[in-house]
Structure formats: structure tokens, C-alpha cells
Copies of this chain bind each other. A is one copy, B any other.
């Protein structure tokens, strides 16, 4: 999905939800598009500040939540009480390997996972929206 389509999708979502279309929200979207895979709200805010943007912290937090609501971002939490965001475009369901030494986050995919999720939810009479599969340990640079 290219930049233009992305803009259109966000615009459509905002209109549907009776949210106003403001330059600040699209400025946040710009930075999100350019961002690395996993970033926190505050990191993005600081990056925007450095980039001479004038948006406030509150607007960044608010806009990111809107992007989550329209399925353009996924919200993640790797256990350190910090929320990370990740673009949801062109990605299949995937999990994360988190290095406890350097904090690196590596994505992985595995075909068998969705089958297991189906099995589990049917066994437990549960209706799934999303899942997280996080494996903690040491990456290849830090394993002994």
C-alpha cells in the first residue's frame, strides 16, 4: 500500500468516525510511515520535535490510537510497561523474539501458529481478535 492509499484510508476512517481531518493527524501518519518497525509513542513524539514538527504529545498519543482503531497500526507490549506500535501493512501474523540483553526485537512467522490458535480457541470456547507470541531470551549476538 503506497502513501496515497494510506492517506485515503485514514481520511475515510476519520470521516466515518466523525473525527476531523487535521494536518497534525496526517503529520503523525507521515512519521509513522517512515518509522522503523517498533516504536513507542514518546519516541515518535521526540522524533517529530526534532524534525521541527510542532505537534503536542497529546496529539501524538491521540493520533496513534486512531491509527490503531483503523487497523493501520498494531499496539504491542513486550513486558516493560511501555507501549510499542508497529505498522500492520503487508504483514502476516507474526511473533517476536526479544533479546533480554540488547532489547532487539526480531519478527518471526510460522505457518503452524494459526492452526494452533484455532485449536486453542475452539477448546476454550473463545472468540479471538488477535494474538501475541513473544519469546524472550538471547539473540545470536548474545547467546553464550
A positions within 8 Å CB-CB of B: 75-83, 95, 97, 99-100, 106, 108, 110, 112-113, 116-117, 119-121, 123-140, 143-144
Contact = CB atoms under 8 A, between A and B. Distances in A.
Contacts of A143: 125-127
Nearest to A83: B81
A104 B123 CA distance: 17
A126 B106 contact: yes
Contacts of A75: 79
A131 B126 CA distance: 21
Contacts of A128: 97, 135-137
A79 B110 CA distance: 22
Contacts of A120: 95, 97, 108, 110, 135
A135 B140 contact: no
A22 to B, nearest CB: 27
A117 B135 contact: yes
Interface centre among A100, A133, A143, by most B CB within 10 Å?
Answer: A133
Contacts of A78: 77
